[in-house]
Amino acid sequence: MLEVDGSPLLEARLQEVLRHLFRSGADCLVHRNAQGILTLHKDELISSMERDGALRLCDLLARLEDRRGELLPDMGSPERLLLLEGETLSLLMAEELRQPHRTASDLPEWWSVPLPLIRLRKDRAERNETAEAHFPDGESLAREVRGALSSQDLLCHLPARGGEERTLALHPLTEDVVLLEDITADCTAAEELAWWAAVGHSLVERLRQNGIRTGRFSPEDDLPQDGEVISCLWEGDLLGYLHIPCPEPEKPEEAAPGGTKRKTARRRPAAGQ
């Protein structure tokens, strides 16, 4: 354990931290943990120490936590860095930290499962191998997933690129890992079902408005012998029958004297008949 006067370096005052920097010849102190990298230039440490001589390194890191990211900032010319990771202090060149850091504990053990997973970090997103195969456009995927989750929506719609729009169900597994389920086919089937249900309902309603009362029969029912009986199928399965009765024929009109036609009036029964 790296200690200063019996205390871990994170608990040390900035004056002691600067002493380590100057002894090593490093220009920056880099603190790395599971959330990413936070870089402190020696000039920033000096300025912070001048404002508060009792300030500890851990307190300064907490104040600047929103600056933590996955990648080391571009520093131009090569610089020597003092890397503090856990209880280990190492002297490195900036180029050695230029690529994203990944440790055995950085990703969950089940990250390589054959299911599409995306991991959303502060300034970048990672896809496992399955997600990369199913969703080549990682930038668009991350943007849409972030937008859906920020609005507490567990459905995500990927823009169409040379094909139909894809709909994903989002299943958060951890704080930053999400399982992606492509439900495009299910949504298309649901829309198709809703469409034909609306068509059938509209046709039956129009028949009713025209005075034709349809009947619904199950596959086990005895069917009427008159009118038309339509088999109702969905994906090859018989759901039942629709009976459309024959419309009642109109009564013929009688020819009146002089060649005109008149309707036959029905006689009303006499009282008591």
| pLDDT over 70 at 193, yes or no | yes
Span 184-188, mean pLDDT?
88
Overall average pLDDT of the 167-184 stretch: 91
Length of the chain: 273
pLDDT at 227 over 90: no
The residue assigned the tokens 């990369």 is: 132
| Inter-CA distances, 216 with 64, 99, 141, 212, 230, Å | 70, 68, 47, 13, 10
**Residue 192 above 80 pLDDT?**
yes
pLDDT higher than 70, residue 250: no
Q: pLDDT tier at 123 (50, 70, 90 boundaries)?
A: low
Span 148-166, pLDDT tens digits: 888 888 998 887 666 678 8
pTM of the model: 0.46
Query: What is the percent of the chain with per-residue pLDDT over 90, rounded to a whole number?
Result: 16
What are the backbone dihedrals phi and psi of residue 160, each rounded to the nearest 5 degrees, phi first? -75, 135
What band does 35 get if pLDDT is binned at 50, 70 and 90? confident
33-39 mean pLDDT? 81
**Residue 203, both tokens:** 């046709």
Confidence of residue 253 (pLDDT cuts 50, 70, 90): low
On the 0-12 / 13-18 / 19+ scale of CB atoms within 10 A, 156 is: buried
Give dist(CA 94, CA 261) in Å, integer.
106
Predicted pLDDT at 168: 93
